[in-house]
Amino acid sequence: MERAEIESKFTELLVSELGLDEEKINPDARFEEDLEVDSLGVVELLMALEDEFDVTIPDEEAENLTTVREAIELVVAKLG
Amino acid sequence: MTRHDRRVVITGLGTVNPLGADVESTWAAARQGVSGVGPITAFDASNTVTKIAAEVDDFDPLDYLEKKEARRLDRYTQFFIAASSQALADAGLDYRGDDEAAIGVGSIVGAGLGGMHSFIEGLDTLRERGPSRVNPLTITKLIPNMAAGYASIEFNLQGPTNCTVTACAASANAIGDAAEMIRRGIVDVMVAGGSEAVIVEFAVAAFNSSKALSTRNDEPTRASRPFDAGRDGFVMGEGAATLILEDREHALARGATIYAEVSGYGMSSDAYHVTLPRPGGAGQKRAMEMAVKDAGLAGSDIDYINAHGTSTQANDRTETAAIKLALGEEAAGNVAISSTKSMTGHLLGGAGALEALLCVLAIRDGVAPPTINYDDPDPDCDLDYVPNVARPMPIRHAMSNSFGFGGHNVALIFSAPDA
């Protein structure tokens, strides 16, 4: 899967699964501070990512995710 | 200040229910005797015995909530936020951004079952996809106190809060308990009401198994027929109603419009059976008697009763007997009684609040809403049920009955502001 495609699907998930405003989403946006995604929202997002990209993201890898870019990098790495 | 020095009045109303998405459209439909019952659309009802219900049509939670918030809330909480948003606006009260005032405002909200849509969704996910896929918001969506909790979050209500879960008496308890908080001098304003949204296959199947629901599938609008000889069970409804309760002095000081007073609250337990009322109505009678006494009235002072009137054989027969015991034969013969469940269906945990709201409007406009579908008298139900057509009449004191599985009996009395 191309990186651009991953990024676009990622944005779609943030809008459809978390109800976020698409205009606020950019690679540097921080989940908690900028997008107001709380801990429950992060769990929802990870589950959606696992479903969408058919990957497994262990809790310890998810704990350090702060920005949209970091989450995308993680998915890209998983898809190898 | 001692108890009863403080009088509790109603200064705001809001509702979303099968008759309408706001107070005035609901009241217009109730006065016209409109039925909110139709074929079930919430799920494919081809397998359930009952295929009809009173659904809320065309409800868009985004009229009241941001998308991000709405998707974290079960339908029953969305209903309650909508009703409460209307009620607070109607009362002219807004505590958002005012933490100092907000600590003097509480909320008590009733629900019978809670977020059953979310419960079923979570269970389906567990069965189909395994434990790791169950949504992290499942619990917060399904717990029956979330309407109370989220109302506090949404409207910044920082005072005492609670959730009453006494089945079909839940939101009558919520209103009574909220009034008590004001009477005791703890707070000046309470957001009180109830909500329910359980038109799901599981709940319909379960109520069918307990033989509680009407199966008059071929005549949906004729199915809820309280006190009629041909009644065959209740029709499930959904929706919410909110009443803003306020210390009378507080309301007068700010020049609020006062709809009515919450003048009496009574409750009792049947201590008899999980679903059936105690035969003869002795338990229900005691709740009504307690409410009349609490209001400082005599049974003959009650002008109108909004009955629990579920359209089940047992309830309507027993409630009729209980009204006679509580008011005395003569006063019972004179009082106008109606069951608005004939139109709204049975909102379960939301019923008490919606019916309280209708009592308040009945007092305001001097109109008793009808019991529709009343065709054939039942010898065991021989009082005046305001059959089929609304009745203009002065109403100073109105009583609302609500009875719940488990034997919970609640009666509330509402009085005209100058009564």
DSSP class per residue in B146-185: HHHHHHHHHHT--S-EEEE--GGGHHHHHHHHHHHHHHTT
CB of B385 closer than 8 Å to CB of B229: no
Contacts of A20 in chain B (CB under 8 A): 68
Mean per-residue pLDDT, B93-114 = 97
- pLDDT of residue B369 exceeding 60: yes
pLDDT at site B419: 72
CB of B22 closer than 8 Å to CB of B37: no
**Mean of per-residue pLDDT scores for chain B:** 97
DSSP string, B291-350: HHHHTT--GGG--EEE----S-HHHHHHHHHHHHHHH-HHHHHHSEEE-THHHH-B-GGG
pLDDT at site B78: 98
Closest CB to B136: pick one of A19, A36, A43.
A43
Closest-CA residue to B322 (of B389, B266, B396, B387): B266
Cα angle, residue B331 at apex, residues B258 and B324 outer, rounded to 5° = 105
**B133–A contact, CB cutoff 8 A:** yes
If pLDDT is split at 50, 70 and 90, which confidence band does B371 have? Answer: very high
Tokens of B408: 């919970």
Mean per-residue pLDDT, B58-84 = 95
Contacts of B136 in chain A (CB under 8 A): 40, 43-44, 47
With an 8 Å Cβ cutoff, the interface of chain A facing chain B consists of 18-20, 36, 40, 43-44, 47, 51
**B62–A contact, CB cutoff 8 A:** no
pLDDT at site B2: 47
pLDDT at site B318: 98
pLDDT at site B208: 97
Q: Report the chain B residue with the minimal C-alpha distance to residue A19.
A: B68
Percentage of chain B with pLDDT > 90?
A: 98
Cα distances (Å, whole numbers) of residue A62 to A52, B8, B259, B410: 16, 52, 54, 51
Contacts of B141 in chain A (CB under 8 A): none
**B136–A contact, CB cutoff 8 A:** yes
- pLDDT of residue B4 exceeding 60: no
- pLDDT of residue B230 exceeding 60: yes
Mean per-residue pLDDT, B279-284 = 97
- pLDDT of residue A65 exceeding 80: yes
Mean per-residue pLDDT, B361-385 = 98
Q: Report the chain A residue with the minimal C-alpha distance to residue B140.
A: A40
pLDDT at site B161: 97
CB of B359 closer than 8 Å to CB of B325: no
Residues 6+ apart with CB under 8 A from B127: none
Cα angle, residue B354 at apex, residues B54 and B383 outer, rounded to 5° = 90
Mean per-residue pLDDT, A49-58 = 91
Mean per-residue pLDDT, A18-33 = 92
Contacts of B135 in chain A (CB under 8 A): 44, 47
CB of B292 closer than 8 Å to CB of B253: no
Q: Report the chain B residue with the minimal C-alpha distance to residue A43.
A: B136
Closest CB to B137: pick one of A20, A40, A51.
A40
Mean per-residue pLDDT, B146-173 = 98
pLDDT at site B418: 84
If pLDDT is split at 50, 70 and 90, which confidence band does A63 have? Answer: confident
Contacts of B66 in chain A (CB under 8 A): 19
**HSE of B331, CA atoms in CB hemisphere, 13 A:** 17
Q: Give the C-alpha separation, B350 to B111, whole Å.
A: 6
CB contact under 8 A, B136 and A44: yes
How many residues in chain A? 80
Closest CB to B68: pick one of A18, A43, A47.
A18
pLDDT tens string B25-55: 999 999 999 999 999 999 999 999 999 999 9
Percentage of chain B with pLDDT > 70?
A: 99
Contacts of A19 in chain B (CB under 8 A): 66-71
The minimum CA-CA distance between A34 and chain B, rounded to whole Å, is 14
Distance of CA B400 to the CA centre of its chain: 9
Hey, of A44, A45, A49, which one would you mutate to test binding to chain B, going by the most B CBs within 10 A of its CB? A44
- pLDDT of residue A34 exceeding 60: yes
pLDDT tens string B242-259: 999 999 999 999 999 999
Hey, of B66, B72, B126, B128, which one would you mutate to test binding to chain A, going by the most A CBs within 10 A of its CB? B72
0.80 exceeded by the pTM? yes
pLDDT at site B232: 98
pLDDT at site B53: 98
CB contact under 8 A, B67 and A43: no
**B68–A contact, CB cutoff 8 A:** yes
Contacts of B133 in chain A (CB under 8 A): 47, 51
Point out the catalytic residue in the list A21, A28, A38, A54. Answer: A38
- pLDDT of residue B1 exceeding 70: no
**B66–A contact, CB cutoff 8 A:** yes
Tokens of B271: 């201590």
CB contact under 8 A, B136 and A40: yes
